[in-house]
Chain A
Amino acid sequence: MKQEINIVVAGVGGQGSILASHIIAEAAMCSNDTRREHFKVRVGETFGAAMRGGAVASHIRLGLVESPLVGSGRADLIVAMEPLEGLRNAAKYLAQDGLVLVNRASIPPVDVKVGNFEYPTEDMIVQSIGNLGGKVVFIDATNLAIKAGTAKTVSVVMIGAAYASGLIPCTEEKIKQSIENRVPAKFTKANLDAFALGAEEYRRITNGS
């Protein structure tokens, strides 16, 4: 394992980005020996004025780390619940050779809705991330979440894809346990299905390429 692993989970307020970051961090904590100095878990939450619909990003740092924020250009993995937020955070944090997982469903900001700005095309996002030396994989997470039983499981579909990427230092058992610990009991099955669908989708896309 690398000395430190940096992950950014990004999205729009209400999409479950912070929950997703806590699931990932808890899974990593339970899969590694945190009694030892070289494996610590830090999660930094960044959001503006805490308004509904605002941009939200959670920073996860694992390993030989102390502070909660991912440095500029140091994210090994960015998990984006929304394409524009994927681009925004990739621009700030993505490491060369880093991976960006993006839920394809967009939530246009008010700035686009009122015609002041354009929403970036998928090509623009792919190109920008390519220019940074990174790779992007789009996941139809919203559709997969609906297939799993409820659109509310979008963030867990993305966790499934992130787990399948192999970049999260945790076991499948611990990440499933962490999901069960943190989602409402009546949605446990839908969320575990969502996790499996996300992992399967990531493997399907990356094996085909």
Chain B
Amino acid sequence: MSSQPVLADGGTRHLLMGNEAIARGAIEAGVQLVAAYPGTPSSEICEVLIDAAPHCDYYVEWSTNEKIAFEMAAGASLVGARSIVAMKNAGLNVAMDTFMTLPYGGVKGGMVIVVADDPAAHYSSTEQDTRFAAAYAEIPCLEPMDQQEALEMTKAAFEISEEMELPVFLRSVSRISHASGDVLLGDLREERNQLGFNKHYKLPFRWNVYGPPGALEKHKWLHSILPKAKELSNISPFNKLNLVPNSKTAIVMAGIGAAYGIDALRRIGLADQFSTLKLGMVYPLAEKLVDELLEGVDTLIVIEEGDPVVENQIRAYVQSNTSGLTIYGKSINKILNPYGELNADVVSEALAGLLGIEYCGDVMSDVRQSIIETVTPRSSTLCAGCSHLGTYAALKQVLKKYPGINIINGDIGCYEQGGYGVAGTTPSPNDDESKKYPNISTYEMLDTIHVMGSGIGLAQGQAHVGYSDGKILAVAGDSTFIHAVLPSVVNCVYSEADITFLVLDNRWTCMTGHQPNPNTGLSSLGEPRERLDLEKVVRAFGVNHVMKANAYDLECLSETIHHALEHKGISIVIVEGECMLQVQRRNRTVNVKTHVIQDKCIGCRACVNLGCPAVTFDKVKRKAGIDPLTCTDCGLCSQICPVNAISKKGRD
């Protein structure tokens, strides 16, 4: 066996990240197919399963988007195999079409859908609570409180899926997926599901929603089996009822809400004082356990991460048969916010406040706040020598020729930092226009950012409705281009939209940890593959104005973008520049030659505005400098300097 903890013997104890625990659960269950598209905080599930693949016997891949990954897993399940698909919250939106339809016929082999939500939106466009989606699709939903449960639930999810003949939803969150805990490993299931296909498996035209008797009958079938799911929820080992005699107050804690709730109760001195129901299977609701919990109770508190998904199920359920009960949670009688992230501090305060307990979480909070406000920030930036720095520098230069209000539609990837703003300078709506739109920083370039592939779509709408105050552009990286942009390019050609689109081709899916994609030249397992030829693809789609340019040659890149902007109709510039981190990993720049000739520097800060973290500025001397520890000798700053004060030739 390998030294990887996910492959260690059953019965041993390891410190595992939540995503590793989920991966281990899949291995223990005898998974036969794994598919995913990278997305923080879910990526390590597939990464770990790729690393473990040589020692196991499943198929694993990074698919080109979440919908395809979902369909891979569904297809495997329909022929009887155990499959798992992993994605981040936003990824589920991409897979939604198939996700909503698959439950109508259900599945055969166990199929587990892992979605890692991101409360507080640490790494995401939204905080969306995907447990709603599980309820929407009417499939069982599990939610772990820690890494041990993440492993056990993943394993159990395959069993539940096969028993219910439905896909099972496992909702993780950042603080499960990207946190670690002590985990006791279980034993591996030796047998594998036999493969086979039967188009009328237990039901006529089982896997074909349109096959007789049709979609309505299939929806009725789905409802006919839901009582069985409720029964499973009532007896689930992940739902734990702890009754305290004569307790008038009861607490329901779901998923990681249980971890915060237990910590908070201990902290405010109320551990074991109230009846509690810890929920791990959160949909459908364990109604019998709720009945038992609420016997003689007048106050119910619900603690859960995200939206009031469990709370609302309880509200709907008790409406008809419980009077004199007040429910506190995140909707009516709000004690916790339905946005942001829980922690033991906020849960302690909420519980202490409601229950009239004297509690001071932090006696130093005033001192603390005064220090926090003055601590120097550490702004996130693009990396030193990043090819996107070149793209944005060239764009800034070219757009000076177009004095209107140009719109640059952004997208998702490292380059989205071009819309993160500059530290400590959030514009206010009442600011002077010149202050609101200085347009000098690389980090203020992007005007719209929503989701993968949305930029080029917005651009078409702006163009076709007749926006004419300035040029309309969109940018997207290579992985995003393959994931979500291809149909949009076809639409541009077909509808003759007058926009300019920049593909920022850095060869890898960088932001999530440099996963390979069809443009990398490597398979998911690192074997050589023919690179997808982006230029040929868009030419085949009918884009006539397609040009390639090097991100590190600013003059040529600016000229290429200028040509594209002058072209009427869709024009595409493929900006090439491999991710500098990957370049440096293969061949680290040593003895950095780039430096500022101090006598020549006029202190204009043009190089600083490039946004490269290797460029420094001495406020007192009013001179720029280069940090030799981070500089990669990429040469962008020396091309920007108006007085040639940055030399690439090394010091004398």
Please give the residue numbers on chain A whose beta carbons come within 8 Å of chain B beta carbons, in ascending order: 12, 22, 25-26, 29, 34-35, 40-46, 48-55, 64-69, 71-74, 84-85, 87-88, 90-92, 96, 109-120, 128, 131-133
Contact = CB atoms under 8 A, between A and B. Distances in A.
Nearest to A91: B371
Given A40-B181, A48-B380, A68-B179, A128 B371 contact: yes
B617 interface: yes
B376 A92 contact: no
22 contacts: A25-B15, A25-B180, A41-B180, A42-B179, A43-B179, A43-B181, A48-B122, A53-B383, A53-B613, A65-B263, A67-B262, A71-B344, A72-B362, A84-B375, A92-B372, A96-B364, A109-B379, A111-B376, A111-B423, A113-B616, A114-B617, A119-B376
Nearest to B368: A91
A111 B256 contact: no
B interface residue count range (under 10 / 10 to 19 / 20 to 34 / 35 or more):
35 or more
Nearest to B629: A107
Given A40-B181, A42-B181, A68-B179, A117 B377 contact: yes
Given A52-B581, A71-B343, A72-B365, A66 B258 contact: yes
Contact of A115 (B13, B362, B619, B630): B619
Interface string B585-605: 000000000000000000001
Given A65-B263, A110-B381, A45 B179 contact: yes
Given A91-B368, A110-B379, A49 B608 contact: no
B266 interface: yes
Given A41-B15, A128-B371, A51 B179 contact: no
B424 interface: yes
Contacts of A96: 363-364
Contacts, number: 166
Given A51-B381, A111-B376, A111-B378, A116 B424 contact: yes
Contacts of A110: 378-379, 381, 613
B123 A91 contact: no
Contact of A109 (B263, B371, B377): B377
Interface in B597-626: 605, 608, 613, 615-619
B40 interface: yes
Contacts of A44: 175, 178-179
Interface in B229-283: 256, 258-260, 262-263, 266-267
A29 B15 contact: yes
Nearest 5 A/B pairs, CB to CB: A115-B619, A73-B362, A109-B378, A68-B179, A66-B259
Contacts of B378: 12, 53-55, 84-85, 88, 109-111
A84 B256 CA distance: 31
B274 to A, nearest CB: 16
Given A43-B180, A88-B375, A132-B371, A51 B380 contact: yes
Nearest to B416: A49
